[in-house]
Structure 1
Amino acid sequence: MRDVRRHILEVAERLFYAEGYRAVGVDRLIAEADVAKATFYRHFPTKDDLLVAVLDARDARFREWLAVRVEALAGDPRDRPLAVFDALAELFAADDFRGCAFLNTMVEVASRSHPAHEAAQRHKQRLIDYFERLLREAGVPLASALAPQILLLIDGAIVTAVREGGPGAAARARSLAENLIATARPGRRRR
């Protein structure tokens, strides 16, 4: 027997990412998931509850994927902070890339107090924490100050990749990150 909750989450994630949260109604979600209305509401009392669950599941999967790809792309911990951008280039090149599901959600729900906005913010904070760890493991000083800057570069690269329709923004953001990291390393003169 299939896991109904997980199936509903998968359908919702696909539709929300492709078409947007507000564009997809509950009746469509129920029809696409091929579940009874009562079953849907037993698992997700509101559409907002479903969106938060989708974001939490996507967060866990994305962070796991990113960690695996970064390690595969860079065996040496010193190279891993920049390998993040190489992994992102792979995502940006995908035909179905529509940007960051978390940024898209923040734009759609707008209110910072909305539970989905808070879930998206948690995801971004977890990424900052991950980048900080990568920077520390790479021996980069000021890791806690640089990690949010890395996220800023990534978020900008994501939006640019959507605008341009390709992976080139990841390489440009990587170059900027390389400069930030080089400036933070000991022995580098600041101008």
Structure 2
Amino acid sequence: MSASKRDELVQKALCAFYSGGFHAIGMDRLAKETGVSKTAIYKHFRTKEELILATLRLRDEQFRNWLVRRIEAMAQDPKDQLIAIFDALGEWFEEPEFKSCMFIKASSEFQDRTHPIHATAAEHKRLLAKDFTARASKAGVKHPEMLARELLIVKEGAIVLAHLHDAKQVAKDARQAAEKILISTLHS
């Protein structure tokens, strides 16, 4: 399988796992949805879990790149960027293919914290917290790590609730909560 065919397989598998779940999508269904035979899939990935890890790495790269670009397109000032996180999320929630967070799903389907899939999901969240911390530091807040953790908690809760309820209202509420947290951090 060529590199471009492998990349295409990973992208199609990402879509299948994102919409259907990791355990629910068996190899027969994955072969059908990707248009790649099981034999060809196994030539490149020894196990389904290796393919899942490849899809998570791709999703991490895609999502974090998208989020950074959207935040920086929406706001120049670091304080405003911390709020723009939630404007970007609101856009994501409105996308027709929005089905919550692939990393939340992965960590709930692979609950053992030592499992590579769970660890990869946790690493995605750690990298987001690192980005938020850097933005909070640039904004001059007193405790940037704490602010980053608080904003990450609001972000993660918003993702879950947007999948369950009115996504527009959840995005609006999450943004307001982030504004209150930022204001209280700046005045403490």
TM-score by length of 1: 0.92
Residue in 1 that maps onto 2:173? 172
Give 2:10's aligned residue. Answer: 9
2:149 aligns with 148
Match of 1:29 in 2: 30
The within-5 A match list for 1:1-191 is 3-185=4-186, 188=187
| Structure 2 residue matching 1:167: 3-state secondary structure | helix
Distance in 1, Cα, partners of 2:178 & 2:43: 46
Measure, in 2, the Cα distance between the counterparts of 1:83 and 1:9. 30
Aligned length: 187
Q: Deviations over 1:4-24 (max 9, x none)?
A: 111111111111111111111
Q: How far does the alpha carbon of each residue in 1:84-124 deviate from its partner, in whole angstroms, 9 at most, with x for none?
A: 00000001111221101100111112221221111100000
CA contact under 8 A between 1:80 and 1:138: conserved in structure 2? Answer: no
Q: CA deviation at 1:35?
A: 2.6
The structural deviation recorded for 1:148 is 1.1
What is the alpha-carbon distance in structure 1 between the residues aligned to residue 172 and residue 56 of structure 2? 27
Distance apart, 1:77 and its partner CA? 2.5
* Paired-residue identity, %: 37
Answer whether contact 1:131 1:147 (CA < 8 A) is retained. Answer: yes
Aligned equivalents of 2:33, 2:161: Cα separation in 1: 32
1:2 CA drift (Å): 7.2
Alignment check: 8 A CA contact 2:16 2:33 kept:
no
The structure 1 segments of at least 4 consecutive aligned residues displaced by more than 4 Å after TM superposition are none
Unaligned regions of 5+ residues in structure 1, if any?
none
Measure the CA separation in 1 of the matches of 2:34 and 2:185. Answer: 50
Distance 2:47 2:166 in 1: 34
139-148 or 86-95, which deviates more: 139-148
Superposition TM-score, scaled by structure 2 size: 0.93
**What one-letter code is carried by the residue in structure 2 that aligns with 1:130?**
D
Tell me the CA shift for residue 34 of structure 1. Answer: 2.5
Structure 1 stretch 34-43 or stretch 73-82: which is displaced more?
Answer: 34-43
SS of structure 1 residue aligned to 2:136: helix
Q: Which sections of structure 2, spanning at least 5 residues, go unmatched?
A: none
Counterparts of 2:182 and 2:142 in 1: how far apart (Å)? 9
Deviations 1:117-161 (A, max 9, x none): 111000000000010011111222210111111111011111110
Q: CA deviation at 1:45?
A: 0.7
The alignment yields a C-alpha RMSD, in angstroms, of 1.5
